[in-house]
Amino acid sequence: MQRRSLGRSGLTVSAPGLGCMGFSEFYGPTDEATAPTALEEALVLGYDFLDTADMYGQGRNEELIGRVLKGRRDRVVVATKFGIVREGGTRRIDNSPAYLEAACEASLRRLGIETIDLYYCHRRDPSVPVPEMVGAMARLVEAGKVRALGLSEVSPETLRAAHAVHPIAAVQTEYSLWSREPEAGLLAACRDLDVALVAYSPLGRGFLTGAVDVDSLAPDDFRRGNPRFQGEALAQNRRLAEALGAFARERGATPGQVALAWLLARSPHVIPIPGTRRPERLAENAAAADLALTPADIAALDALFAPGTAAGARYAPGGMAGIESAAG
């Protein structure tokens, strides 16, 4: 497993890391009773960067991570997030200092730890000035409750403004072969500032693995409402996934491994965090760090998945709330 730095925080993590959201919800039925076994297997394989958020499972995901951390705290870098507040069937974004301080205390309690390694603003509320929000986050660092600060789905301008208030260790955003928006400016800003770019959904929410049968998804799987999994967009994206599968077979790898290796080759600042609940997928994804793509391989993938080639928006309209443009 490769090691990569979270900016200038002094923290280094496995690459890939592990996105933990799916253990609690969004991808169909879950079994949180067996989830600790999968998480423990991830640690055995070398994963030590676990990504969660207070809104995943309404706090249950953090509690799950907390159970796994017992007796292992010094072996794991824990990232969690604040900012998306779910109330009944609605959600809102809150970046106010009072809210983020209370959210941090609640996350610490659920995780059962004294310090969060990496604390992200999950989504930006433009009504709260960046200096006000980041200043409040910095006070958590001063109080010893947080080690490093992160932002999620922000523009290069927001990143630069935040970094001027307090060093930002990482920006999390969707980045994959079929979501290349960070290349429009955000990735360059991360390089300039020496900030890690943590890539969530690096396998296109599983679609790039070629193993997702959209018609068989559970009724409560959020991908059923995702524009990329519907109609003409789905047909176009299936053709892309099939081409990736053929490319991978020629190189003796899986499509998921190729997709992760492509990301790892983009920049030493990029840290993908694929999520899976299956031990065999954990091992497969970990092995992607050992797959060396040639310059010709990378050029071929860049051409196959040229920006804008994937069809459909990343989210349904409601899910785009708080997502800033990666261009700049």
CATH of the domain at 260: 3.20.20.100
If one counts the domains in the chain, the total is: 1
- What is the end-to-end Cα distance of the chain in Å, rounded? 32
Active-site residue, from 56, 99, 120, 175: 56
Q: In Å, what is the CA distance from 90 to each residue of 85, 123, 318?
A: 8, 15, 10
Among 15, 5, 41, smallest CA distance to 199 is for 15
Tokens of 202: 């690096």
C-alpha triplet 292, 298, 301: angle, nearest 5°: 125
Q: Is residue 48 part of a domain?
A: yes
> Which stretches of the chain drop beneath a pLDDT of 50?
none
Which domain, by its residues, includes 85?
Answer: 2-320
Q: Is residue 113 part of a domain?
A: yes
What letter does residue 16 receive in the DSSP assignment?
S
How much is the pLDDT for 307? 92
How much is the pLDDT for 300? 97
Q: What are phi and psi of 121, to 5 degrees?
A: -80, 115
Residue 2 region, left (φ>0) first, then alpha (ψ -120 to 50), else beta?
beta
Q: Is residue 327 part of a domain?
A: no
How much is the pLDDT for 134? 98
Tokens of 199: 């890539």
Tell me: cis bond preceding 272? Omega within 30 of 0 counts. no
Residues 6+ apart with CB under 8 A from 299: none
pTM of the model: 0.94
Residues 6+ apart with CB under 8 A from 197: 170, 171, 172, 173, 175, 182, 186, 187, 190, 267, 269, 270, 271
Residues 6+ apart with CB under 8 A from 303: none
How much is the pLDDT for 317? 81
Rounded CA separation 192/203 (Å): 26
How much is the pLDDT for 133? 98
What letter does residue 325 receive in the DSSP assignment?
P
Tokens of 288: 């992607």
What is the H or E stretch that residue 116 is in?
strand 116-121
Q: Is residue 71 part of a domain?
A: yes
How much is the pLDDT for 249? 97
Active site residue 200: no
How much is the pLDDT for 321? 75
Q: Is residue 326 part of a domain?
A: no
Contact 150, 119 (CB under 8 A): yes
Rounded CA separation 75/53 (Å): 19
Q: Is residue 325 part of a domain?
A: no
